[in-house]
């Protein structure tokens, strides 16, 4: 784990306060010298269970998409914009009079993303990746502010990114002096709900592979 031990007890936002007993925030996972960093949105139930990003169905999806264009997930570092599961609860009254509570994922709040920004920033600074791939709108906005995924997906951007102020209780950002290579993709899960994105996503993945070759990042090519 790249992050310090105190990370494991973080309760800076509402999602941390709602973690289940025994669970910790989910740190990024992968090689500490990885050249490519992949950033998703937030952990779900499976990720909280195993304390690793992109597990279960989401992980399988991601592996398939990457391997499909000859990219190796094991050579990347994978993290999320936030590190505790954002969820909503639904109560259902059963015939026997008991109440069943089910949890479903929801996007993280802006407050949670800003609260978790320091942890992501720490991982980016320690890793200094040659390429950052964002999956979906949440990590894109976390790094680049109000950019629209529909306008920038599938393109290599060389840009300043938002970094959090260093004060512990601050949730403000400043723009980095350094420029980063950022490649935005739709979130693979979005394709399940929006079938029209399937071909777009595959085309973006092909462009990603081409970009990786142009940047000469050979470590992630199968």
Q: Which residues bind ligand SF4 (CB under 6 A)?
A: 10-13, 15-16, 25, 82-84, 112, 115-116, 119
Pairing of strands 180-185, 173-175: unpaired
133 to 13, 149, 153, 194: CA distances (angstroms):
25, 12, 10, 21
Distance CA 194, CA 105 (A): 18
Residue 37 CB, shortest distance to ligand SF4, in Å, is 17
Q: Which is nearer to ligand SF4, 78 or 112 (CB)?
A: 112
Which residue has 């910790």 as its token pair?
24
Q: Which is nearer to ligand SF4, 108 or 154 (CB)?
A: 108
Residue 23 CB, shortest distance to ligand SF4, in Å, is 10
Which residues are within 8 A (CB) of 142 and not within 5 positions of it... i.e. 6 or more apart? 39, 81, 113, 117, 120, 162
Q: Which is nearer to ligand SF4, 111 or 194 (CB)?
A: 111
Which residue has 């938002």 as its token pair?
162
Residue 134 CB, shortest distance to ligand SF4, in Å, is 17
Residue 117 CB, shortest distance to ligand SF4, in Å, is 8
Q: Which is nearer to ligand SF4, 15 or 35 (CB)?
A: 15
């Amino acid at each position: 784990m790249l992050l310090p031990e105190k990370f494991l007890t973080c309760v800076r936002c509402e999602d941390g306060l709602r973690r289940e007993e025994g669970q910790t925030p989910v740190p990024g996972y992968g090689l500490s010298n990885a050249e490519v960093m992949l950033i998703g949105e937030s952990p779900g139930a499976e990720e909280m269970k195993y304390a690793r990003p992109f597990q279960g169905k989401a992980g399988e999806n991601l592996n398939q998409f990457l391997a499909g264009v000859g990219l190796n997930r094991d050579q990347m570092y994978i993290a999320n914009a936030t590190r505790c599961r954002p969820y909503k609860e639904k109560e259902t009254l059963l015939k026997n009079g008991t109440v069943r509570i089910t949890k479903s994922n929801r996007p993280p709040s802006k407050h949670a993303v800003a609260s978790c920004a320091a942890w992501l920033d720490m991982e980016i600074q320690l890793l200094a990746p040659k390429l950052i791939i964002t999956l979906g709108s949440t990590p894109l906005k976390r790094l680049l502010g109000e950019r629209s995924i529909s306008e920038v997906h599938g393109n290599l951007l060389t840009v300043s990114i938002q970094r959090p102020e260093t004060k512990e209780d601050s949730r403000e950002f400043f723009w980095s002096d350094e420029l980063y290579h950022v490649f935005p993709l739709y979130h693979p899960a979005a394709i399940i709900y929006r079938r029209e994105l399937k071909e777009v996503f595959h085309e973006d993945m092909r462009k990603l592979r081409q970009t990786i070759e142009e940047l000469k990042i050979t470590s992630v090519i199968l």
